[in-house]
Amino acid sequence: LIAGQKFQRAVRLHAMPNPDPASAARDRLAAVRAKRGYLLPHHGLLAVAAPDLLEAYDQAYTALTLVPRNLTAHDKEFVWLAVLVATDEAIATHHIRKFRDAGGTSAEMAAALRLAAVARSAPAFRFVADHWTAAIPEFDHEQAYRSAIADSLAPFGVPARLTEMALAAVQTCQGGWWELGVHIRAAYAAGVAEVDLAEAIAITMFPGSVPYFVDACGIWRDLIKSGAVAASPAFRAWAEIDQGGFDAAKAAKP
């Protein structure tokens, strides 16, 4: 809390009368380092060019990744590791330390790596389903994909709920919408709390992309509306509200 207050004070230095730009930027960056323990290049750019955006970004990042919500630190960092591998995000190695600090083991890190690797192979299964089913009529797309995941993770004993959350996040990053539907349905079957699944998928907003996160929410919403998953009253209310976007609203006007 104290670090966050110092950060906000430092960021707002730009509003003071005639601040020295270089000193103000250094103060903002010192506050970021004090809060997070590290700096990344975009922090510096925003500190110099857009202090208001730096403050807003920090608040969003804090809410998304630093403030405890529903997932345990261990489970959240497991999802983070799978997402980072899936997105080729090499710079965020602090999540390895955070996973270890939360009790994560080397074997579990190996499991997250395998999980992401198999998820990235999903287009191969999709290719066969799209183009070779006439020649291989016995091919079952979902069964083949799920078997590859099960075989890969068999040595590790990762709980089903954690597997499905991590795979849902990875497929969101990849735009694997059919696979995402598979994992959302499986998450419900495994008893994953909806707020836990939502937190796992929301992790993808920064390393994946906000547009992909938007699309993933649409996939989940469609599953609820179709009755493919038994949503809670709150999540069903979300699904039933009209959310067609700007173009749909524009088209609906007389």
pLDDT tens-digit map of 95-110: 999 999 999 999 999 9
Give the CB-side neighbour count of residue 92, counting CA atoms within 13 A.
17
Residues of the chain short of pLDDT 70, as ranges, are: 1-19, 246-254
pLDDT of residue 43: 86
pLDDT of residue 127: 97
| Burial environment of residue 195 by CB neighbours within 10 A (0 to 12, 13 to 18, 19 or more) | middle
pLDDT of residue 237: 96
pTM of the model: 0.85
Which are the contacts of 183, defined by CB distance < 8 A and separation ≥ 6? 164, 167, 168, 171
* Angstrom distance (rounded) from CA 157 to CA 119: 17
pLDDT of residue 226: 96
pLDDT of residue 174: 95
pLDDT of residue 17: 46
